[in-house]
DNA sequence: AGCACA
C-alpha cells in the first residue's frame, strides 16, 4: 500500500508540479541564470541552486502550475535542449510542490563573514589569531566573537564582499595553521558562511571584539588588568605608554618561577635593575625594571607570549608598567634591587647567571642548578639577542600573539616572519609574501 | 544525469 514512497524517484512520468527540478547545470549556476531560463514560460517566484552533492542541480518554482507545464512541454518537443551557458540542462517536474525557502543569509554574499571555530580548544583561539588569519585577504575592519550553541563563533568584517568572498573561499573548512596555536591545542577548523550584517557594532576594544578602524575606541574595563595596565594590543596602535618597567604576568605556572629565573630571562635584553614579584588574582606577576625604555621595549616584544618552560608552561604576558622606578624595600626571594650590590645579599649568590648574557648558558650548562627547576629547565627560554636586535626586527604590532609555546625560543630565522608581515601588510600588498604566504593564500582566488 | 536537511 505504501508503494508510492517506495517507487524510484525518477519515474518516467512525474506528476506535474509548479516546481521543476534541473540537473546537469554548469558549476555555480546563479539564480539569475535560472530566472533567465524560466522567464519565457512564466513568472519564476523562487529558485534554489547549487543543490546536490555536486551542486549542479537546481529548482525553479513558477507562480502557476501551467507555467511549469509550459516549460516542460516546450522542451519535450523542442529540437534545442534547455541550456545554461551552452550546457544542456535536464528538466523534470519536481516531486515537491514548492521550494522550501532555504534562502538564508548564508546564501547571500556580503562583506561580513560568520566564522564558526570547530575543535575542542576552539574557545582558546584568540581574536588576534583570527585577525591574523583573515588579514591575509585584506584589511579586516572589525571582529566580534561570541559563544552560541553552535560553539565559538566570530563575525569578521571586510570592506567589501569580494574580499570577504576570497577569504571565505580560501578558509572555509580549513584549519588554523598549527604554528599560530599553542602546541597543546588541538586542530581548530573554520566553518564560514556569510552574515547578514554589513557593519558590526563594536563598542569597546576588548578580548572579545575589536574595531581596527578606530584605534581611539575606548578599551573595555575587562581588557585592563588588575594593575591598571592595558593588556590589550591594538594592532600597532599603542594605547599604553612605553616604559622602562615591564609588568609580566605568568600564566599556566606549572613550575615555580623564581626571582632568579626572571632575572635570567629578562637579563638577556639588558641589565635588569630591579624585580618585584607579587601575587595578583591568583597568579604571579612581576615588575621588571630596566635602565631605559628601549631595552624594555625590546624585551617585551621578544618575550610577550613566550613560555619560560617548554610545553606551554609559565607563559609570559607582558605590558608596560606605569612605574618608572621601583621602590624595593627589602631584598628577598620576591623582590630585589640589583643596583645596590651591598645590600643584595640575602642570597649571597642571587643568580647563578649573574649579569651575564643569558646566551652564555646553553643546554646542559654545567653550573645550571637543575634541581631547582623542572626536568627540562635546560630548555628554559634563552633569548640569544641582547638589546640591539630590536632594530633588526620589524616592529611587531602588539596584538600579534607569538604563541610559539612549543618552542621556548626560536631564533628569528626560524620564526614565521610572515606573521608580522601579514599583519602589517595584507598579502596582496606585502613584499614579504613570497614564500611566506599560508597555503590557503588568496593568490589563487584572484 | 535523477530531488533540497537549513
Please report, rounded to a whole number, the percentage of residues in chain A having pLDDT higher than 70: 68
**Is the predicted pLDDT of residue A166 greater than 90, yes or no?**
yes
Judge whether residue A109 contacts strand B, using its CB and a 7 Å cut-off. Answer: no
pLDDT for residue A105: 56
Judge whether residue A51 contacts strand B, using its CB and a 7 Å cut-off. Answer: yes
**Is the predicted pLDDT of residue A273 greater than 70, yes or no?**
yes
**Is the predicted pLDDT of residue A173 greater than 60, yes or no?**
yes
For residues A107 and A49, the answer to whether their CB atoms sit within 8 Å is no
Listed range (A7-16, A255-264, A388-397) with the worst mean pLDDT: A388-397
CA distance A213 to A418: 22
How many CB atoms are located within 10 Å of the residue A334 CB?
16
For residues A81 and A37, the answer to whether their CB atoms sit within 8 Å is no
Listed range (A88-97, A284-293, A323-332, A369-378) with the worst mean pLDDT: A369-378
Between the CA of residue A24 and those of A31, A49, A119, A243, A307, what are the distances in Å?
15, 12, 36, 66, 56
Q: Which of A258, A218, A255, A251 is nearest to A234 (CA)?
A: A218
Judge whether residue A93 contacts strand B, using its CB and a 7 Å cut-off. Answer: yes
pLDDT for residue A223: 67
Average pLDDT of every residue of chain A? 76
Q: Closest protein residue to B6 using CA and C1' atoms?
A: A102
Show the cell assigned to A430.
606585502
pLDDT-based confidence at residue A11 (cuts at 50, 70, 90): low
* Strand B nucleotides where any atom sits below 7 Å of a protein CB: 1-6
Q: Closest protein residue to B2 using CA and C1' atoms?
A: A10
Judge whether residue A100 contacts strand B, using its CB and a 7 Å cut-off. Answer: yes
pLDDT for residue A7: 53
pTM exceeding 0.75: no
pLDDT for residue A406: 36
CA distance A104 to A102: 6
Q: Which of A329, A315, A304, A314 is nearest to A246 (CA)?
A: A304
pLDDT for residue A102: 60
pLDDT for residue A427: 36
Amino acid at each position: 500500500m505504501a508503494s508510492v514512497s517506495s517507487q524510484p524517484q525518477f519515474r518516467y512520468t512525474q506528476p506535474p508540479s509548479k516546481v521543476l527540478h534541473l540537473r546537469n547545470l554548469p558549476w555555480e549556476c546563479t539564480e539569475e541564470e535560472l530566472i533567465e531560463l524560466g522567464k519565457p514560460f512564466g513568472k519564476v517566484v523562487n529558485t534554489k541552486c547549487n543543490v546536490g552533492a555536486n551542486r549542479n542541480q537546481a529548482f525553479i518554482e513558477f507562480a502557476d502550475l501551467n507555467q511549469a507545464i509550459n516549460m516542460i512541454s516546450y522542451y519535450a518537443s523542442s529540437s534545442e535542449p534547455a541550456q545554461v551557458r551552452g550546457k544542456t540542462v535536464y528538466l523534470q517536474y519536481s516531486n515537491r510542490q514548492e521550494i522550501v525557502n532555504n534562502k538564508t543569509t548564508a546564501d547571500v554574499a556580503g562583506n561580513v563573514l560568520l566564522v564558526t571555530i570547530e575543535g575542542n580548544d576552539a574557545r582558546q583561539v584568540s581574536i588576534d589569531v583570527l585577525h591574523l588569519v583573515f588579514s591575509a585577504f585584506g584589511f579586516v575592519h572589525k571582529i566580534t566573537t561570541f559563544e552560541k550553541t553552535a560553539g565559538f563563533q566570530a563575525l569578521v568584517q571586510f570592506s567589501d564582499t569580494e574580499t570577504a568572498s576570497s577569504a571565505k573561499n580560501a578558509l572555509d573548512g580549513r584549519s588554523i595553521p598549527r604554528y599560530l596555536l599553542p602546541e597543546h591545542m588541538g586542530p581548530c577548523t573554520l566553518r564560514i558562511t556569510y552574515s547578514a550584517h554589513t557593519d558590526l557594532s563594536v563598542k569597546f576594544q576588548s578580548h572579545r571584539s575589536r574595531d581596527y578602524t578606530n584605534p581611539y575606541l575606548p578599551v573595555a574595563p575587562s581588557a585592563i588588568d588588575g594593575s591598571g595596565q592595558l593588556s590589550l594590543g591594538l594592532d600597532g596602535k599603542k594605547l599604553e605608554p612605553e616604559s622602562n618597567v615591564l609588568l609580566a604576568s605568568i600564566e599556566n605556572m606549572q613550575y615555580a618561577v623564581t626571582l632568579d629565573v626572571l632575572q635570567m630571562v629578562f637579563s638577556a635584553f639588558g641589565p635588569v635593575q630591579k624585580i618585584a614579584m607579587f601575587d595578583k588574582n591568583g597568579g604571579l606577576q612581576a615588575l621588571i625594571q630596566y635602565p631605559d625604555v628601549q631595552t624594555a621595549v625590546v624585551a617585551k616584544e621578544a618575550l610577550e607570549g613566550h613560555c619560560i618552560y617548554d610545553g606551554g608552561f609559565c607563559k609570559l604576558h607582558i605590558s608596560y608598567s606605569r612605574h618608572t622606578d621601583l621602590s624595593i624595600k627589602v631584598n628577598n626571594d620576591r623582590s630585589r634591587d640589583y643596583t645596590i650590590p651591598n645590600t643584595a645579599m640575602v642570597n649571597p649568590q642571587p643568580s647563578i647567571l649573574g649579569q651575564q648574557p643569558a646566551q652564555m648558558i646553553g643546554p646542559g650548562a654545567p653550573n645550571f642548578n637543575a634541581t631547582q627547576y623542572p626536568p627540562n629547565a635546560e630548555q628554559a627560554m634563552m633569548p640569544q639577542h641582547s638589546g640591539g636586535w630590536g632594530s633588526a626586527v620589524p616592529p611587531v604590532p602588539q596584538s600579534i600573539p607569538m604563541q610559539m609555546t612549543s618552542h621556548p625560543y626560536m631564533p628569528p630565522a626560524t620564526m614565521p616572519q610572515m606573521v608580522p608581515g601579514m599583519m602589517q601588510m595584507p598579502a596582496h600588498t606585502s613584499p614579504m609574501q613570497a614564500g611566506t604566504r599560508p597555503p590557503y593564500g588568496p593568490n589563487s582566488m584572484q
